[in-house]
Structure 1
Amino acid sequence: MDSARVGTAPFLLNTVGSAMAGSPLAFSHRGFAPDGAENTLKAFAAAHDLGFGYLETDVRATRDGVLVVFHDEDLARLAGEKRKLADCTMAELSGLRIAGEPIPTFDELLRAFPQAHFNVDVKDAASAALLADAIAGHDAHSRVLVASFGGRRRRKVQHLLAREGLPGPAVAASPGVMGTAAAVLLAKLGPPRLPRAAFRELAALQVPERRGPVRVVTPRFISKAHAAGLQVHVWVVNGESDMHRLLEMGVDGLMSDRADTLARVMAERGCWPQNGHAG
């Protein structure tokens, strides 16, 4: 692959003619939270201060229809409560703390980091319409990539935004479990390139390096994805040697819980910082 990364979505600032053309992207997974305050404004501020312009996060809907930044289905691990987040109102959540930090809304996140790009995992069905509204309300189409293990949620966000009549894909996206499985199977057994029509709504394949006994990310997988105009982003990569190895293999982005380690690796490769570019 040449120095300009594949992909056409405005979200991807490492494409031809973009601000970081030719550089791999670094994603801070749920911010940088060595104190456990994941997915909080404090965690995202810490990642931004390290130089991250791409922040991975998760969204869920409260019982009264507020889109909040939170990963787990229930509150037990992070807030010490047995309730499910979907059973709580925003007022009830406002009294809880994650390692001393409040649970933010997605609106707060977009306002707090107006230049940041957000890789958003849609965790429940109720979040899809709320996320589409937030993207449209903040005019954040170029700053958000929509992902979800459930492809139906991702498609709903894209289809709702497409009703605005915008040209081309309304927002960047990565496939769910079934779409990823199809891409892996086609890369292993199919024609020389992935059929672009089957992945026309997508900007990237965001995948683990392995899924059980199956190695997902291989030179062949990357080559076929690139031939179809798709970037390959790998999650969650925390070891420094693994980061270097995957970047040498030709992946277009890495997500990590170890934001400090990934920042150092990117700096060593001359791709840092990445937080000074607007979408």
Structure 2
Amino acid sequence: MLHPFFAEGQTPRIFGHRGYVSAANAERGIAENSRAALAAAVDAGADYVESDCQLTADGEVVLFHDSTLERTLGDARRISTVTHAQLAELMADRGGLITLAEALTELPSIRLNVDMKSPEVATPAGTLVGSLAPDRVLISSFSDRLRLEALAAAEAAGSRPAAGAGQSAIVKILAAVAMRSSALLDRAFAGIDALQVPVKQGPVRVLSPGLLRAAHERGVEVHVWTVNEADQTRELVELGVDGIITDRTDLAVAALRG
């Protein structure tokens, strides 16, 4: 049975990757993962928004990708060394800082795919999700340890959100697909609601009909990142993927909803 996270929204699902920053908004200085970027993804027609979380020096869970401010704000400091107020001031003319709690309470229509980006953020982020909106969040991380920590904190605080798969879980799934072992596949997919993968990782093909079939037989959705071309979007949907994670919400909506 699908997790309530997937109860609403059309299929195939469109995830705005770190929100949506159009070319015009990029020229204005709007940053990814900002309040403006999240709102723009929803306004452009995304069913879901993929974002990332970090923890500030004073313990606020904020939506921000990198561990430092260098790429986004030209500031060499680590995000863990600045306060929420300091970061909010820096983001004021970049689309506005938004916390995880604000995204879940002030944007009630939003459904978030939240990636745990640092060890210190997993438990506080999971606690917020479990207490505020577990049905509207999918927890993910490249680290299965962080993903499981966040899920455990969410369950302790209220209820279990949807769960993605980390790198080690994906490796186990791909090995089980290659071995065509139903028992191994059952174990590898246990506790996972969505498998989010690239088409290829370097020279290695990750997405395959066998992977899609194995996931769908176990009620697990497959979402592909990061897809920014309309033709590839349509090809992947024809192959059978359940969702597209994209920087170009506008192109994905035109390709799949037009």
TM-score (norm 2): 0.92
| 2: CA distance, partners of 1:193 / 1:28 | 35
- 1:33-182 superposed matches below 5 A: 33-34=21-22, 35=26, 36-97=30-91, 100-138=94-132, 140-164=133-157, 166=159, 170-182=160-172
Q: Specify which structure has the bigger relative contact order, considering alpha-carbon pairs within 8 angstroms and separated by 6 or more residues.
A: 1
Q: Shift in Å at residue 234 of structure 1?
A: 0.4
Query: Residue 176 of structure 1 aligns to which amino acid in structure 2?
Result: G
Do the aligned residues in 2 keep the contact of 1:78 with 1:98 (CA within 8 Å)? Answer: no
Cα pair distance change 1:161/1:136, threshold 3 Å: closer
Cα pair distance change 1:71/1:165, threshold 3 Å: closer
Q: Give the ranges of 4+ consecutive aligned residues of structure 1 lying more than 6 Å apart after TM superposition.
A: none
Cα pair distance change 1:194/1:223, threshold 3 Å: farther
Provide structure 1 residue ranges, at least 5 long, that are not aligned to the other structure.
Answer: 1-6, 14-18, 269-279
Query: Residue 146 of structure 1 aligns to which amino acid in structure 2?
Result: I
Query: Residue 218 of structure 2 aligns to which amino acid in structure 1?
Result: A
1:29 aligns with 2:22: no
Do the aligned residues in 2 keep the contact of 1:40 with 1:69 (CA within 8 Å)? Answer: yes
Do the aligned residues in 2 keep the contact of 1:193 with 1:225 (CA within 8 Å)? Answer: no
Which structure has greater helix proportion? 2
Number of matched pairs: 252
Deviations 1:163-192 (A, max 9, x none): 3575xxx11111111111111121122325
| 1: CA distance, partners of 2:9 / 2:54 | 31
| 2: CA distance, partners of 1:147 / 1:206 | 9
Q: Shift in Å at residue 131 of structure 1?
A: 1.0
Do the aligned residues in 2 keep the contact of 1:194 with 1:228 (CA within 8 Å)? Answer: no
Query: Residue 14 of structure 2 aligns to which amino acid in structure 1?
Result: A
| 2: CA distance, partners of 1:162 / 1:133 | 8
Please provide the CA RMSD for this pair.
1.8
Q: Shift in Å at residue 90 of structure 1?
A: 1.2
| 2: CA distance, partners of 1:20 / 1:239 | 21
Query: Residue 153 of structure 2 aligns to which amino acid in structure 1?
Result: L
Cα pair distance change 1:20/1:82, threshold 3 Å: closer
TM-score (norm 1): 0.85
Do the aligned residues in 1 keep the contact of 2:176 with 2:188 (CA within 8 Å)? Answer: no
Do the aligned residues in 2 keep the contact of 1:37 with 1:98 (CA within 8 Å)? Answer: no
Q: Shift in Å at residue 103 of structure 1?
A: 2.0
Q: Percent identity over the alignment? A: 35
Aligned to 1:16: none
Provide structure 2 residue ranges, at least 5 long, that are not aligned to the other structure.
Answer: none
